[in-house]
Amino acid sequence: MKTLMKVARNAAKRAHAPYSNFRVGAAVLGSSSNIYEGANIENASYGIGTCAERVAIAAATMAGEKIEAIAVACVDAQGAPLSEKMPCGACRQWIQELAPHAEIMIDGENKLFKIGDLLPLPFRLAKPKRKRRR
């Protein structure tokens, strides 16, 4: 887990955050022991930026990994309250759907979280039944 957090911190240093100056890095551990990293990437059209957690989760998912753990590092929030370092709502939904059993580690905290701790009543859709072809 220390290695995973180190990767997340290093990823945060490569974030593109010229508007918020709030750099975030994430590292995801896949079941194959591979680590996937991500950093937040901002855009002048704020709504189309993306979060570090989603970048890393997308990379692991594309590689076919089962996600075991996620580390999040907000290098510009050292000493900040936990609420300022947690994944946003969109990232929590991604974790719920794509990494529901992952342990979640937040830089500077001495506790591991599960998604149920962060999103106790997640949004879920029933999977549609597949129609048989004739």
23-76 pLDDT per residue, tens: 999 999 999 999 999 999 999 998 899 999 999 999 999 999 999 999 999 999
CB atoms within 10 A of CB 32: 12
Give per-residue pLDDT as tens, 89-122: 999 999 999 999 999 999 999 999 999 999 998 9
The domain in which residue 97 lies consists of: 2-118
The reported pTM is 0.90
**Per the domain annotation, does 83 fall within a domain?**
yes
Mean pLDDT of 2-25: 96
Residues 1 and 105 sit within 8 Å (Cβ to Cβ): yes
Number of separate domains in the chain: 1
**Per the domain annotation, does 41 fall within a domain?**
yes
**Per the domain annotation, does 16 fall within a domain?**
yes
Angle between helices 2-12 and 52-62 (to 10 degrees): 120
**Per the domain annotation, does 129 fall within a domain?**
no
pLDDT band (50, 70, 90) for residue 134: low
Active-site annotation, residues: 53
Q: What is the pLDDT of residue 112?
A: 97
Q: What is the pLDDT of residue 131?
A: 72
Q: Residue 27 belongs to a domain with what CATH number?
A: 3.40.140.10
Phi, psi of 62 (to 5 degrees): -65, -30
**Per the domain annotation, does 130 fall within a domain?**
no
**Per the domain annotation, does 125 fall within a domain?**
no
**Per the domain annotation, does 134 fall within a domain?**
no
Phi, psi of 108 (to 5 degrees): 90, -5
pLDDT > 90? residue 132? no
